[in-house]
Amino acid sequence: MIVELLIIAVLVAVACAIPGVFLVLKKMSLISDAISHSVLLGIVVGFMLTHSLSSPLLFIGAVITGLLTVFLSEVLVKSRLVKEDAAIGLVFPALFSIGVILVSRYTGNVHLDTDAVLLGELIFTPLDRLTFMGRDLGPRMIWVMSIILIINLAVLFLFFKELKLATFDEGLSASLGFSPILIQYILMIDVSITTVGAFDAVGSILVVALMIVPAATAYLLTDNLKTMVILSIIIGIVASLLGIAFSWIIDASAAGGMAVMVGIIFFFTFLFSPSRGIIVLKKRRKNQKIEFAIKMLVVHLLHHSNTKSELEECREQHLLEHINWEPRFAKQVVQKAKKDELVTDREGILILSKTGINMAQESMLR
């Protein structure tokens, strides 16, 4: 049972992480947030028609509402009556509201209630078995998520090149014959299907956490699309397993635990990522500031060497007044420049050395 449950969690995490990469890169994270809200309507309508949460009709309903969200938002934007952010913010709450009202009025307590909408019921997913001619084939969820995972992987491999192009340069990929709109819609269908699949396990809203956050975290760690996909998957798996363990210990919702864990991983990456973490970034910016200041100093000196104003402009004292650096910072810069033998001091006037002149000329070439 527990193994099956963990398998389900891992499958959900991996299936969500894959489209997430493209959502983050294509700056469409909030569209996926919108879709995850509004697919509820499709799920509920499907459920009301079939009285089953396992009917394929639910997927069709969800895909339709997912696409409807995107389509309606685009219609609003094209009408130029509202701006893009407001358009999205008008459409998905409306569709979601209809869904919530249907859930609470007509389906109440029959396998589908607002808790299921928000949190999913991961613990119960292994109980729903798939049987074939009297033989137990394992939890239905494993089959469903495996199929979705295969679809996501297929989308990933089939469109990897195209998505890479579309992600980095929409104009270019359009001119090469791949319609960015088509790719966008395929991606949106994929997001809708994945959301419905993951619905049982983590509810429709927290799907967003498993889609966006692993990808956003990976984006802070690598510049390579392939690595980013793999990292997102790993982060998703680790977060969901830790999250389940954590939520068992404190006896709370597994979906909430998974979202919090992936958030914690993101937070630590945000602070400590060796390439883009805040701490490294702050240190690098400080170094850059001094290095840049030295460049600025040599360029300034070069500008004014051999001119009438040299005596005035190249005095150390002048730098303090005119370049408007703080005295301590200016001293630091001049000292570093002297140490690097870029300038020499002749009675308070700074003279460029040969290396200094070279550096100044190189800097000006940009």
Partner 1 sequence: MDKNWAIDAEDITIAYHDKPVIWDVDMQVPKGVMMAIIGPNGAGKSTLIKGLLGLIPLTAGDVKVFGESYKKVRKKVGYVPQRTAVDWDFPTTVLDVVLMGTYGRLGWVKRPRKEEIILAHEAIEKVGMSEFANRQISQLSGGQQQRVFLARALTQNAEIYLMDEPFQGVDATTERAIISILKELKNSGKTVIAVHHDLQTVPDYFDWVTLLNVRRIAGGPVKEVFTKENLRKAYGGRISFLEDKSE
Partner 2 sequence: MFDGIFSDYTLRIVSLGAALLGITSGALGSFAVLRKQSLLGDSISHAALPGIVLAFMITGSKNSFILLIGAAIAGWIATTFILSIIRNTRITSDGAQGTILSVFFGLGLLLLTYVQSKPNAAQAGLDKYLFGQAAALLPEDIKSSAILGGLSIIIMIIIWKELKLLTFDPDFGQSLGFSSKLIDYLITALIVIAIVTGLQTVGVILMSSMLIAPAAAARQWTNKLGSMVILSSIFGAIAGIFGAVISCIIPNLPTGPSIVLSLTAIVILSLLFAPDRGVISSMIKRYNNRFDFSLQKLLLTLWNLEKKHGGEKRAHDSLTISFTQPGIKNVNTALLALEQKGWVKKDPKGNWLLSEEGRIKAINIEKGETL
Residues near partner 2, by CB under 8 A:
23-24, 27-30, 32-33, 37, 76, 79, 81-83, 85-86, 88-90, 93-94, 96-98, 100-101, 104-105, 108, 114, 118-119, 205-206, 208-209, 212-213, 215-216, 219-220, 247, 250-253, 255-260, 262-263, 266, 270, 276, 278, 281
The item of partner 1, partner 2, none sharing an interface with residue 365, based on CB under 5 to 8 Å by kind, is none
Partner whose binding site includes residue 255, from partner 1, partner 2, none (CB under 5 to 8 Å by kind):
partner 2
Sign of CA dihedral 248, 253, 259, 264: negative
- Closer residue to partner 1, CB minimum distance, 6 or 357: 357
Q: Yes or no: say if 298 and 364 are a contact pair by the CB < 8 Å rule.
A: no
Q: Provide, rounded to whole angstroms, the least separation between the CB of residue 21 and partner 1.
A: 26
Residue 137: CB minimum distance to partner 2, A:
31
Task: State in angstroms the smallest separation of the CB of 364 from partner 1.
Answer: 7
**Residue whose CB is less far from partner 2, 192 or 253:** 253
Minimum CB distance to partner 2, residue 43 (Å) = 15
Q: How many angstroms separate the CA atoms of 283 and 197, rounded? A: 44
- Selection from partner 1, partner 2, none that 256 binds (CB < 5 to 8 A by kind) is partner 2
**Both structure tokens of 136:** 């137990």
Residues with Cβ within 8 Å of residue 360, at least 6 apart in sequence:
295, 298, 299, 301, 302, 352
Supply the DSSP symbol for 349: E
List the single partner that 366 binds among partner 2, partner 1, none, CB under 5 to 8 Å by kind: partner 1
* Residue 353: contacted member of partner 2, partner 1, none (CB under 5 to 8 Å, by partner type): none
Residues 288 and 127: their CA atoms lie apart, in Å, by 58
Rounded Cα–Cα distance for residues 192 and 19 (Å) = 10
When the beta carbons of 272 and 364 are compared against partner 2, the nearer one is 272
Q: Which is nearer to partner 1, 17 or 294 (CB)?
A: 294
Residues shown for the chain = 366
Name 346's bridge partners: 349
Q: What does R_g of the chain's alpha carbons equal in angstroms?
A: 29
Q: What is the distance, to the nearest Å, from the Cα of residue 2 to the centroid of all Cα atoms in its chain?
A: 30
Q: Give me the residues that bind partner 1 (CB under 8 A), please.
A: 80, 285, 288, 291-293, 295-296, 299-300, 303, 321-325, 363-364, 366
Using the CB atoms, write b or e for 289-325: b if 16+ within 10 Å: eeeebbbbbbbbbbebbeeeebeebbbeebbbeeeeb
